[in-house]
Amino acid sequence: MSNNLTWVVVGPAANIPQQGARTLQTETDRIAIFRTLDDQIFALLDRCPHKQGPLAQGIVHGHFVTCPLHNMVFSLETGEAQGPDDGCAAKVECQVIDGIVRVGLTELQAGLRHAG
Amino acid sequence: MNHVTAALRTAKVRLVVIGNGMAGMRTVEEILNRAPDKYDITVFGAEPRVNYNRIMLSPLLSGEKDFDEIVINTPEWYTENNIHLYSGDPVVKIDRDRKVVISKSGTETEYDQLLLATGSDPIIIPVPGHKLDGVVTFRDVDDVDTMLGAAAKGGPAVVIGGGLLGLEAAVGLQSRGMDVTVLHLAGHVMERQLDPSAGYLLAQELERRGITVITEADTAEIVGSEHVTGVRLKDGRMIPADLVVMAVGIRPNGRLAADAGVAVERGIVVDDVMTTSDPAIFAVGECVQHRGQCYGLVAPLFEMAKSLADHMAEIETDGYTGSVTSTKLKVTGVDVFSAGDFSGGGETEEIVFRDAGRGVYKRIVLEDGKIKGAVLYGDTSDGGWYFQLMKDGEDVTELRDTLAFGQAFAGGSAGNPLDAVAALPDDAEICGCNGVCKGSIVAAISEKSLTTLDEVKGHTKASASCGSCSGLVENLLAATLGGDYQAATVKPICTCTDHDHDSVRRLIIAKNLKSMPAVMQELEWKSSDGCHVCRPALNYYLLAAWPGEYVDHGASRFINERVHANIQKDGTYSVIPRMWGGLTNPRELRAIADVADKFEIPTVKVTGGQRIDLLGVKKEDLPAVWADLNAAGMVSGHAYGKSLRTVKSCVGQEWCRFGTQMSMGMAVELEKMTWGSWMPHKFKMAVSGCPRNCAEATIKDFGVVATDGGWDLHVGGNGGIHVRATDLLCKVTTDDEVKEYCGAFIQLYREEARYLERTAPWIERVGMKHVQERVVDDEANRKALFERFMISQKTAQIDPWAERASEGVDAHEFTPLSMVAAE
Ligand SMILES: Cc1cc2nc3c(=O)[nH]c(=O)nc-3n(C[C@H](O)[C@H](O)[C@H](O)COP(=O)(O)OP(=O)(O)OC[C@H]3O[C@@H](n4cnc5c(N)ncnc54)[C@H](O)[C@@H]3O)c2cc1C
Ligand code: SF4
Ligand code: FES
């Protein structure tokens, strides 16, 4: 994991529906930001490792999300597929301070490019 | 001007305390214990009385205590300890340069050291009318006096805020004879301390006591000309009130400190020995912010007081390192406990225990084998134990299996939940409906050599009614028979529950369960919010059981039904407008063509159900696509849902030379009657105008084929993986009969089939005879089914596209977040 994350504010956690998700388009990827029933916020790349399903559109239960395309279940905490399935959804760093969500983007995602 | 110069009186260090409350005085007591002669102490208090136990305001309000009983330190205590108390005289300014404080009455007092213990201010939401007479907060004795004055007259009261304080106020006012309504913004009460399940139980208990709880209640306005008369919500509802209590939260009171240039963020910033940015000024209590944290409970304040007293008495100290807190609701007869971070996060796992019979809910959150938080409702006797394990960071891996049963079980060697049943006394009631106790069940099992749940039901009546105790009875069987017992093989809906679909359906009605948390609690779900398998099923069962009453739970629907379009393999969506009976016209076709052009929709396809599918629509475009289709008079085809899809038709007697009936007209009528209805699975119909059956009605869930004399009604056809031709339900003669049988059949299917079971496997399971008995042979039952169907259609026939395109329903679904700011 890159240490030089760019932290981007995406607004109040309340803007994300409980037991739901919203997406954030970055320079390179789309990120799915989830809010669980217990009001925790998690983020994964919005791309299921199975067949690229949009995870943000899945059903959120506990700290898991079920992919809308073929029902694989992923941990929001680690990105790991649950049960017999293999695979890992890419986790994205995020934090909530005073109700405001920030996600940590890599330089590429944030669109920053350094010459040399 | 009364200019006190303490230095003239004594050579001691002059300590001035601002705030005569719980933290300030506890600190003074601690200092007196450690260094009785070190300080010359002066206390300023804004309230015109000695210090008292603020926690006890609730019992004071409810009448369980008098003011005398809640006083902490009497006037004599102040005198005996040579403390100069200025009560009813708030400090208005701190002059740090001259080291004096100035009070409202003009007293100037010099200090060597200053202690701020100003507590916090109740938050007042500035809605119109918040200054009216009869609007109070709940913070001090004066507030309680105002409430008691209002309560003496009786009448309605509204408490805004369903947190700890609000609920205590509500119960207090209710016990004083007022008619109380609690308005709470969040989805369940005490959401900071409780999860939805425990919140559900608590709200139920309050309702049982006659207190009305309205959640998701956003206050628009407090109404009245001089004195308050009511509260209006943003959704227009009006709740009458002679008294309004605002209990929506507190804000640390750091005004004096900030005005004097002391560092204040959310609270007055202090280090581990409670020193502010000015070394001569300390602060304790609710007014401080320590390591980023502000507290609103007394336990941490007392810990702060100790550390500060050590420091001020120059005793070696580790300082204050922050607190883990636990809360209990102080309402007689309601047991609620919560501690730590029960919400989880990080690498947590949860243990959920529910005992619906006793109204008990426990949830313990573990991380790395340690307790991170806990919520207990109904049985809080082990709260202290969990809290201690949590504070000590004890590894509980060994106890994991029995942790939920509490300390009594944790000692035992066998980590077996069956012990819980074994430990019950013989007179413990197992089956509440039929009043059967453990002893008689065990006796029946041994004496009559019973080995199955059904046998126990037969002999003892236990679990023969609502069935919610069948789990317990099974455990008793297992405990009594030991290894001989084979549990009945019911297939649970998923791993969140032991119940199968049928018993869940039955119990939702038997126990009058009308919300997701109610079902999960009463049926003892083993996870806190279910999973993608059980939640959509429960949502359907609730909708089917309580049409018009149950509010759809969007987060428990799959994306297709949430956004009312089909998700495709690349994450785009497809949209199918309804074409009644398969008919369309140039205007609709033109609108569809225009939409396809405008939104660059790559594929336009005619479906197997005679509708036009627009494939490859971007999610963000959906509302605009729908708006255009709506504008041309088209509504959602529900092609994505577990619901009525299409009614296919042939051209029938309207055009066909063979047709014997108007099949197009019938198809349109049937579709208009049934659209919008949610079902266990997708549901398709067709109408053919003669037995040549060009609409292929005999592979539909409900097929109608015209004959010379009337109509043949077919059911249970399926063109899916296992093709199944329909069974003939019956023959009817009139158009109205077709509709009545159709509605009745659908309703029977909706009420009896398991979620995700299509009509074909359902009919194969229950038998065609069963269906015919209910829909054909029993006329009264048919009419009743049909009536229930039509009643539920009243609330079901709402075009979801229009709601989303023009009313902004679920707008968050269609707008991605954007980056607000980068750091
Ligand atoms: C109804 C009620 C029920 C509660 N129940 C519980 C409970 O069950 N458990 C629990 O742990 N906690 C409970 N609390 C919270 C608990 O009472 C507080 O955490 C605690 O009292 C805070 O102590 P404090 O000394 O910081 O503030 P306070 O006790 O509020 O003391 C601050 C004092 O400073 C005075 N003051 C403010 N500004 C000035 C000034 N400029 N000059 C002079 N004086 C000033 C105020 O008048 C006040 O008397 C309850 C609170 C309320 C209101
Ligand atoms: S089913 Fe009969 S009426 Fe309908 S189109 Fe075919 S032949 Fe004509
Ligand atoms: S794409 Fe996610 S499960 Fe197949």
How far is the C-alpha of B99 from the C-alpha of A103, rounded, in Å? 46
Q: Is the dihedral of CA B698, B704, B707, B709 positive or negative?
A: positive
How far is the C-alpha of B724 from the C-alpha of B772, rounded, in Å? 18
**Under a CB-based contact definition with an 8 Å cutoff, are residues B215 and B184 in contact?**
yes
Interface test with B, best of A19, A47, A61, A70 (most B CBs within 10 A): A61
pLDDT beneath 70, residues of chain B: 1-10, 343-346, 408-420, 432-434, 464-468, 483-490, 822-823
- For residue B120, the CA-to-ligand 1 centroid distance in Å is 7
3-state DSSP assignment of residue B80: helix
Q: What is the pLDDT of residue B333?
A: 77
Closest-approach residue (CA) in chain A for B527: A62
State the closest ligand 1 atom to the C-alpha of B119, by its place in the atom list counted from 1: 27
Nearest ligand by distance to the CA of B662: 2
Q: Is the dihedral of CA A39, A43, A48, A49 positive or negative?
A: negative
Q: Which residues contact B20 (CB under 8 A, 6 or more apart)?
A: B43, B44, B45, B46, B47, B50, B51, B85, B87
Residues in chain B within 8 Å Cβ distance of A69: 567, 569
Q: What is the pLDDT of residue B6?
A: 47
Q: Which of B519, B514, B518, B526 is nearest to B503 (CA)?
A: B519
DSSP state at residue A82: P
**Under a CB-based contact definition with an 8 Å cutoff, are residues B104 and B18 in contact?**
no
Q: Which residues contact B131 (CB under 8 A, 6 or more apart)?
A: none
Of A53, A54, A60, the CB nearest to B555: A60
Report residue B814 as tokens. Answer: 């269609």
What is the spatial order of strands in the sheet that A100-105 belongs to?
A94-97, A100-105, A6-12, B821-822
* Chain segment B217-274, per-residue pLDDT in tens: 999 999 999 999 999 998 889 999 999 999 998 999 999 999 999 999 999 999 999 9
How far is the C-alpha of B160 from the C-alpha of B170, rounded, in Å? 10
Interface test with B, best of A15, A18, A45, A57 (most B CBs within 10 A): A57
Q: What is the pLDDT of residue B7?
A: 47
**Ligand 3 site, residue A58, Cβ cutoff 6 A:** no
Residues in chain A within 8 Å Cβ distance of B816: 22-25, 30
Residues of B with CB under 8 A from a CB of A: 187, 195-196, 342-348, 350, 527-532, 535-536, 554-560, 562-563, 567, 569-571, 812, 815-823
**Under a CB-based contact definition with an 8 Å cutoff, are residues B229 and B173 in contact?**
no
- For residue B45, the CA-to-ligand 1 centroid distance in Å is 12
Ligand 2: residues within 6 Å at CB?
A: B 650-652, 656, 658-659, 663, 688-690, 692-694
> Do B555 and A78 lie within an 8 Å CB cutoff?
no
- For residue B140, the CA-to-ligand 1 centroid distance in Å is 8
**CA of A26 vs chain B CAs: smallest distance (Å):** 9
Q: Which of A59, A65, A20, A25 is nearest to A39 (CA)?
A: A20
> Do A61 and B571 lie within an 8 Å CB cutoff?
no
The vertex-B598 CA angle with B593 and B602, nearest 5°, equals 70
Report residue B421 as tokens. Answer: 């049943």
> Do A38 and B821 lie within an 8 Å CB cutoff?
no
Ligand 1: residues within 6 Å at CB?
A: B 18-24, 44-47, 54-55, 57-58, 90-91, 117-119, 138-139, 165, 253, 256, 285-287, 296-299, 301, 330
> Do A68 and B567 lie within an 8 Å CB cutoff?
yes
* Chain segment B321-353, per-residue pLDDT in tens: 988 888 888 787 788 888 887 766 567 788 888
Grade residue A1 by pLDDT with cuts at 50, 70 and 90.
very low
Q: What is the pLDDT of residue B67?
A: 92
Torsion region of A99: left, alpha or beta (phi above 0 gives left; psi -120 to 50 gives alpha) = left
Q: What is the pTM of this model?
A: 0.65
Of A68, A71, A77, the CB nearest to B347: A77
Atom 2 of ligand 2: nearest residue by CA position: B690
Q: What is the pLDDT of residue B468?
A: 57
How far is the C-alpha of B145 from the C-alpha of B820, rounded, in Å? 47
> Do B559 and A18 lie within an 8 Å CB cutoff?
no
Angle between helix axes B735-752 and B759-766 (nearest 10 degrees) is: 80
How far is the C-alpha of B136 from the C-alpha of A55, rounded, in Å? 47
Of A38, A53, A54, the CB nearest to B343: A38
**CA of B332 vs chain A CAs: smallest distance (Å):** 27
State the closest ligand 2 atom to the C-alpha of B688, by its place in the atom list counted from 1: 1
Q: Half-sphere exposure (CA, 13 Å, Cβ side) for B259?
A: 11
> Do B816 and A38 lie within an 8 Å CB cutoff?
no
3-state DSSP assignment of residue B376: strand
- For residue B381, the CA-to-ligand 3 centroid distance in Å is 45
> Do A8 and B567 lie within an 8 Å CB cutoff?
no
Q: What is the pLDDT of residue B459?
A: 81
Of A6, A36, A68, the CB nearest to B822: A6
- For residue B60, the CA-to-ligand 1 centroid distance in Å is 15
> Do A33 and B187 lie within an 8 Å CB cutoff?
no
**CA of A41 vs chain B CAs: smallest distance (Å):** 9
Q: What is the pLDDT of residue B106?
A: 92
Residues of A with CB under 8 A from a CB of B: 6-11, 15-20, 22-26, 30, 33, 36-40, 51-54, 57-64, 66, 68-69, 71, 73, 77-78, 102, 110
Burial of B189 from C-beta contacts in 10 A (0-12 / 13-18 / 19+): buried
Interface test with A, best of B516, B529, B619 (most A CBs within 10 A): B529
